[in-house]
Structure 1
Amino acid sequence: MSFRDESEEGRDLRKPFLHTGSWYRMGSRQSSMMGSSQVIRDSSISVVACVLIVALGPIQFGFTSGYSSPTQTAITSDLGLSVSEYSLFGSLSNVGAMVGAIASGQISEYVGRKGSLMIAAIPNIIGWLAISFARDYSFLYMGRLLEGFGVGIISYTVPVYISEIAPQNMRGGLGSVNQLSVTIGIMLAYVLGLFVEWRILAVLGMLPCTILIPGLFFIPESPRWLAKMGMTEEFEASLQVLRGFDTDISVEVNEIKRSVASTSKRSTIRFAELKQRRYWFPLTIGIGLLVLQQLSGINGVLFYSSTIFETAGVTSSNAATCGLGAVQVLATGVTLWFVDRSGRRLLLIISSSGMTVSLLIVAASFYLKDFASEDSTFYNVLGIVSVVGVVAMVATFSLGIGAIPWIIMSEILPINIKGLAGSIATLANWFIAWVVTMTANLLLDWSSAGTFTIYMVLCAFTVVFVTLWVPETKGRALEEIQFSFR
């Protein structure tokens, strides 16, 4: 793969995606006329507004992930699907996401971050429509694949866009909004699924992307992408809007220009060049974190949480699943608050260590239950302990491992390989997510204690990986982080 030279004709094709709406026009034409009371002068307000708009994409991501849990009984009954056919339906989103991940880097490099999100929103909307009108498995499968394709693009593009527009002192917290939005989407699917039937739930699934498309016209394009494309005027105007019209952006402009000058947009990056340390080391960290995130078993636990809770003796598994979704949201909100205060690396170590201990508790509980009488108090206590362990595992995952790998991936990859390397890292994440989701049920049938022991060992390895290789990126400019790998 390589990054192709950009022609004037190619740039013209991208013009619809470069439009930055009223904020952009105001920033480039009317900055001298702004009064002191204009709220857009505040950098945090303008950046947070941009993040809240693009966060609709991860909400869509989460809604797609959560949709299959509350709808299984109704869909299999209405369409006459077997359990294996429905399992295939659930896993097809991961397959579509792998295809979207392969395309995500190059799409976002060619049409920009905003254009990439617009492209991702369209198959998501079509996919939800296909599911809502499905009369057999064919439309159901097609819709799930289309949703997955869009989610694969969203999962790469949103964290990259946020990292490229955020001030360095806010980048971690704003980056955590990505994962927070995913958990909100999951919880919405769980809760709404208790009250509305599956076709209406699919229609509701369209709303985030339906709102996202017009919202993208009111936010600026990533200034770093514009700089890489040689669009100097647009780049400076976009950065000025994001930082506030009274802010002196000359230092940041010069840093970005120097970074872009050292990695020309016309340079061709080949796989052979990834042998250089400045490329392979950040790529290894990015892939490693995103792979270990999934090897923790989180998707298996969330996808089969109802089964796990039933095995543990919980009578109302659907309510427990909704509670698990709420725990995710709260814990991810804590990450948003602490990630720019305590740092990425420390939270990753705390998170992976907490998951290791939680999984050890769950594994030990299920192991001891095999030797306890089902009528004994000890058996019931072990059931409660295993549920507490699962909840603690999800909470500690959300505290760091859930959000921070995406933040670090978007921070450490050099701008001239971000499209290629980001696609590889995102593809690896979705491939392992698919493997874990497909094998978790088989492993749980084999041995609940053994399954959680495997996940515990992998979480323990994550602690070692983070301790030895992952750098701290808190409070550092993107250009400074990337230069440190040279």
Structure 2
Amino acid sequence: MSADMDEKTPLIRRSTSVSQIRNSGLFLAVFSAVLGNFSFGYSLVYPSPVLPQFTGPEADPRLRMDTAQAAWFGSIYSLGAAAGGLGAMALNDLVGRKLSIMMSAVPSATGVLMSSVQFLSQCFPMCPQCLSVSVTSWPVSRVPRVSTSAMPASCPVTISEISHRRVRGALGSCPQITAVFGALALYSLGLVLPWRWLALAGQVPVVLMVLMLAFMPSSPRRLLSQGRSQKAEAALRWLRGRDYDTGAELCIIQHSIDTQAKVTWSQLATPIYYRPIGISVTMRFLQQMTGITPILVYLETIFSQSNVSLDPKYDAAIVGAVRLFSVSIAASLMDRAGRKALLYTSSLLMFLATLTLTMISRATPSCPPGPTPPHNGTTLDCSSHEALGQTAMGVIPLIGTMVFIFGYAMGWGPITWLLMSEVLPLVARGVASGLCVTVSWLTAFMVTHAFTYMVDRYGLVAPYLLFTVVSVLGLLFNAVCIPETRGRSLEEIENYFRTGRSFTINQHPSTSMSTPVSTPVSTPRQET
């Protein structure tokens, strides 16, 4: 009996060493990192409640914006996101993920300082120099804050490196959810706070992020790449718990580092590289061309011009809550439904929503001119009929926008990021992901900047019609170019792009020597 116990004891210990992972430290580290995404989502939609205060008839003459200024105010953050993504790529390799996120908070603090000077100049107008700063530097206080866009570029990499595979999928959705929650917080605070206090309130999570990250360990993968094995072991033990056996995981990470290669320009001309990169870049382009960024940035302005029944600021808060709800549903469906099915659903919902918004933007309900009809036993009050029609028409823009946001969150929002992580080869992921981020945010800047001019000249019907056409193009692109990757291994996905027709990996004697080549490529990718 004792012999049997002796034989079973090592097996029990081996299984419990894996099950004794304590995620408290990991969750704390992830929470510290995603605070940057909260700030990103908050800052991205900052113009929504602020622009009406600067462009309305009651705006301060010293701060009133014309069409060109409003276009730059709403779009400059997207331009900074493109630069921030490229800067994050360099900083990630130069100083590490944690310091890259922390350094992105420095320009953000500069923006807060400028906003504070403006606030003081309003409190003490007797200072002419402060007044000059208040009048001339309203866009300057927003320009330094564009560097907060480097945070979401570094955060997903950080989470993927410090997480283990059992929670990597769930934690990988945290950056997007916290960014959406940050936007909802901005819409909600915009109900009660003026624009200066909104700017200051948005920096609270940034300060908290820096303070918390200062006590968090660096990525074990980066520490191993620098040859600091003891610190890597200590960092991994902090993330997994004191009872976790770090040896096996450290060996896997080290093997990933040792076998990682660099891609050459000649290799990029082969289908296994240019096809997944082309699909990822095109998806990011179409994602922004759907109009999601300008709609979120100019939400209150759009509702003001749509004559909605509720106050536009309440409509914006409702849409923000629907967006958060939609992202949560999408995260639960990601691994249950196919990628293509979700993209089809997303494109169809966005098409119906934008088509409805296009038609409703052209509609001008009114009673027909002429005398009041004679009394025939039933009173027909034209004014009440018109009010009823306007009330019904005032609800449709809100419902259409909610359907658009829901459709985007079901497919084109999260799946573009998911497919990037699945189809991009590891050896080209750094350059390819940087290219995708740059194309995405340059497109967002272009669409957001042009949106103000289009609405000013043609009304809302022009951009809505453009977004309707893009939804159809996204539907066709999904049908023709995007493969279904659900349930496929990374090796099968690579084989699909290598052969162009099949996920199945055929084991032939002639290819037996090439089989081990794919193993080092796929193994590190599951760890990063």
**TM-score, normalised to structure 1's length?**
0.80
More deviation, 445-454/233-242: 233-242
- The 1:283/1:250 distance shift into structure 2, 3 A limit, reads farther
Paired position in structure 2 for 1:217: 214
More deviation, 284-293/315-324: 284-293
Aligned-residue CA RMSD (Å) = 3.5
Q: 5+ unaligned residues in a row in structure 2: which ranges?
A: 1-15, 119-132, 369-384, 499-528
> Are the counterparts in 2 of residues 53 and 215 from structure 1 also a CA contact under 8 Å?
yes
Is 1:292 matched with 2:271? no
In the aligned structure 2, how far is the partner of 1:347 from the partner of 1:110? 38
Paired position in structure 1 for 2:308: 314
- The 1:257/1:293 distance shift into structure 2, 3 A limit, reads same
- The 1:141/1:465 distance shift into structure 2, 3 A limit, reads same
Paired position in structure 2 for 1:18: none
> Are the counterparts in 2 of residues 81 and 137 from structure 1 also a CA contact under 8 Å?
no
In the aligned structure 2, how far is the partner of 1:408 from the partner of 1:224? 23
Of 157, 160, 164, the match for 1:160: 157
Structure 1 position 409, deviation (Å): 3.0
In the aligned structure 2, how far is the partner of 1:156 from the partner of 1:211? 19
Paired position in structure 1 for 2:320: 325
Of 103, 107, 112, the match for 1:119: 103
Please give the secondary structure, in 2, of the residue aligned with 1:140: coil
Q: How many residues align?
A: 446
Bigger radius of gyration among the two: 2
Of 339, 345, 359, the match for 1:350: 345
How does 1:161-180 map onto structure 2 within 5 Å? 161-180=158-177
Query: Percent sequence identity over matched residues?
Result: 28
Higher helix proportion: 1
> Are the counterparts in 2 of residues 327 and 391 from structure 1 also a CA contact under 8 Å?
yes
CA deviation profile, 1:242-290 (whole Å, cap 9, x unmatched): 44455566665555444433324xx4x5555432334323322332232
In the aligned structure 2, how far is the partner of 1:301 from the partner of 1:250? 49
CA deviation profile, 1:365-391 (whole Å, cap 9, x unmatched): 334x15875865556534433321111
How does 1:392-471 map onto structure 2 within 5 Å? 392-444=403-455, 445-471=457-483
> Are the counterparts in 1 of residues 279 and 482 from structure 2 also a CA contact under 8 Å?
yes
Please give the secondary structure, in 2, of the residue aligned with 1:392: helix
CA deviation profile, 1:291-334 (whole Å, cap 9, x unmatched): 22211101222223223323332141111111111111221222
More deviation, 248-257/116-125: 248-257
Q: 5+ unaligned residues in a row in structure 1: which ranges?
A: 1-36
Q: Counterpart of 1:325 in structure 2: which amino acid?
A: G
In the aligned structure 1, how far is the partner of 2:486 from the partner of 2:100? 27
In the aligned structure 2, how far is the partner of 1:348 from the partner of 1:241? 39
Paired position in structure 2 for 1:143: 141
Is 1:102 matched with 2:102? no
> Are the counterparts in 1 of residues 97 and 154 from structure 2 also a CA contact under 8 Å?
yes
In the aligned structure 2, how far is the partner of 1:138 from the partner of 1:283? 43
In the aligned structure 2, how far is the partner of 1:420 from the partner of 1:263? 14
In the aligned structure 2, how far is the partner of 1:246 from the partner of 1:154? 32
More deviation, 462-471/120-129: 462-471
In the aligned structure 2, how far is the partner of 1:126 from the partner of 1:41? 44
> Are the counterparts in 2 of residues 172 and 474 from structure 1 also a CA contact under 8 Å?
no
In the aligned structure 2, how far is the partner of 1:154 from the partner of 1:365? 38
> Are the counterparts in 1 of residues 180 and 323 from structure 2 also a CA contact under 8 Å?
yes
In the aligned structure 1, how far is the partner of 2:222 from the partner of 2:475? 34
In the aligned structure 2, how far is the partner of 1:484 from the partner of 1:258? 25
CA deviation profile, 1:374-421 (whole Å, cap 9, x unmatched): 865556534433321111101222233223323443454444433322
